[in-house]
Amino acid sequence: MTLPLDRFAAVIGARNVMTGKDTAPWDQDIAGEFFAPPAAVLRPASTAEVSGILRIATETRTSITPVSGKTGFNGATYAPNGIKLSLDRMNRIRDLRPAARAIVAEAGVVLSKMHEAADEQGLVFPLTFGARGSAMLGGVLSTNAGGSNVLRYGNTRDLCLGLEVVLADGRVLDLMSALHKDNTGYALKHLFIGAEGTLGVITAAVMKLAPRPRAYLTATVALRSLGDALVLLNRLQAESGGAVEAFEYMPREYIEGHLALDRKARPPFADRHDINVMIELGITSSLLAAQRPDGTRPADEMLETVLAEMHEEGALLDAVIATSETQRREMWTRRESAAAIAYLRSCRLDNDIALPLDRIEDFYAAVRPRLGAADPGIDELTVAHLGDGNLHFTLYPTSTDEALHDRLREIVEDVVAELGGSFSAEHGIGLYKLPTMRRRKPAEVLDAMRSVKRALDPLNLMNPGKLVPPAN
């Protein structure tokens, strides 16, 4: 089939239609997987241009895969010989309204630029994770990304007030409300959040901002059990009025992996512990953050008191509280090395799962014997957003046998289902999790999803083959 590249060029200019070697930056995702050069990459600069492209795509039956920062993990931007529509030139912050705690930004704005813009106003755009220097607003909305502080601020869906979307046929949906309450029919914006580009192209959004904490309290603690970690989390939430922003679990193998990855890294404690948790509280109250003449702050005392209680009870084995920005950074660097640590070994199965907080110990108790029976010698690595129940549970099977890998995936899925969890917490479905979608989602749920897809994209042009498995 001849692609209508000349017609696209008439809308966005020939130099914004990339072909041949010029598509190299879009040939694969950042993790280096799912390599597949597209036939062309289109780089529109406005909503009107996106609309023009999609009108032509509909007329010519041309599939389109939207792409933002390419940091997704599930092959959701894979489009061999297809057309990718990159939002990278739509990178304007249209408005920032400090009093309304709202920012209006285009889909190609990089996450860290949102952070900087909010910071200039003494505010924060809370969504953050390791790929913040590359991931873009359109991508994080389309994957409903989570990250390290979902516990306090919710995931991307919770931070979104309004959305601008171009439908597959080129019509523009203006849902750019800055309202916190708006019960005027179906909440259409939520259909596009987490849709992985299968229903339309997000071109802009209104996102929430939050007050910038006056102080961050950051610590790494070693605990006796994951049950004790939950007790600690609940006590800190109660004492701080819900100020816990990060509660990140790193078991012994993770700490060792980090030391292997980075020769300059230091272990958190002199002794090695099985259960290590990095905690961060963001203190917005001036009363709690105010420094007394002797240099102490009520917020530090609150944290120290809770940790001391847990220590006396025998639940807390060790603790280090960061006393400088350098020490805080060191703790974050350890946590944000997760992808590099997991990728140290190549024969790997990634599981991004969510569990109710009080079932996490049950998960390990149930899954380990079953995995060990299927593949004696199998290894595992966890790093977890423990505070919201999201485990990145990577398996290292002893062989590359695909049948074995399928069995192992199904064991994890079984246990997750038995405990009321989810097989995809924050990374989405893409291509990688399509088989799991097919076998785990109830048939009527998949049918409802297919109906939505047909209603909004009847020709199946938007990122085809992702997210919802075909009916047969």
Sites of contact with ligand FAD (CB under 6 A): 30-31, 65-73, 76-77, 87, 107, 129-131, 135-136, 138-140, 142-143, 145-147, 196-197, 201-202, 339, 426-427, 463
In 3D space, the residue among 318, 339, 322, 225 whose CA is nearest the CA of residue 280 turns out to be 322
Residue nearer to ligand FAD on the CB measure, 58 or 288: 58
Q: Between 64 and 303, whose beta carbon lies closer to ligand FAD? A: 64
Judged by CB, which is closer to ligand FAD: 64, or 288? 64
**Nearest approach, Cβ of residue 337 and ligand FAD (Å):** 9
- Residue 433, CA atoms < 13 Å, CB-side half-sphere: 24
Q: DSSP string of 189-236?
A: HHHHTTSTTSSEEEEEEEEE-EEPPSEEEEEEEEES-HHHHHHHHHHH
Residue among 105 and 316 whose Cβ is closer to ligand FAD: 105
Burial 122-140 (b: 16+ CB within 10 A, else e): ebbbbbbbbbbeebbbbbb
Pairing label, strands 316-321, 352-354: unpaired
CB of 343 to ligand FAD, least distance (A): 10
Please report how close the Cβ of residue 231 comes to ligand FAD at its closest, in angstroms. Answer: 25
CB of 103 closer than 8 Å to CB of 96:
yes
Q: Rounded to the nearest whole angstrom, what is the least distance from the CB of residue 189 to ligand FAD in the complex?
A: 12
Smallest distance, ligand FAD to C-beta of residue 76, A? 3
Token pair of 20 as six digits:
């041949």
Beta carbon of residue 391, minimum distance to ligand FAD (angstroms, whole number): 12
Q: What are phi and psi of 246, to 5 degrees?
A: -135, 140
For strand 64-67 and strand 83-86, is the pairing parallel, antiparallel, or unpaired?
parallel
> Among candidates 344, 338, 363, 353, which has minimal Cα distance to 255?
338
Q: Give whichever of 76 and 159 is closer to ligand FAD, judged by the CB atom.
A: 76
Q: How far is the CB of 144 from ligand FAD (least distance, A)?
A: 8
With CB atoms as reference, the residue minimizing the distance to ligand FAD is 139
Query: Residue 405 and residue 401: Cα distance in Å, rounded?
Result: 6
* Nearest of 45, 267, 29 to residue 131 by alpha carbon: 29
CB closer to ligand FAD out of 72 and 411: 72
Q: Tell me whether residue 132 or residue 297 sits nearer to ligand FAD (CB atom).
A: 132
Report how far residue 301's alpha carbon sits from residue 467's, in angstroms, rounded to the nearest whole number.
48
- 133 vs 227, beta carbon nearer ligand FAD: 133
Q: How far is the CB of 153 from ligand FAD (least distance, A)?
A: 13
Spell out a b/e string for 172-193, using b for 16 or more CB atoms within 10 Å of the CB, else e.
bbebbebeeeeeeeeeebebbb
The answer to whether 379 and 347 are in contact (CB under 8 A) is no
Of 199 and 411, the one with the shorter C-beta distance to ligand FAD is: 199
CB of 120 vs ligand FAD, minimal distance in Å: 22
CB of 416 to ligand FAD, least distance (A): 18
Q: For residues 84, 88, 92 and 98, what is the CA-based torsion angle, rounded to 10 degrees?
A: 100
Could you count the other beta carbons within 10 Å of the beta carbon of residue 411? Answer: 19
Please, which residue, 66 or 126, has the CB nearer to ligand FAD? 66
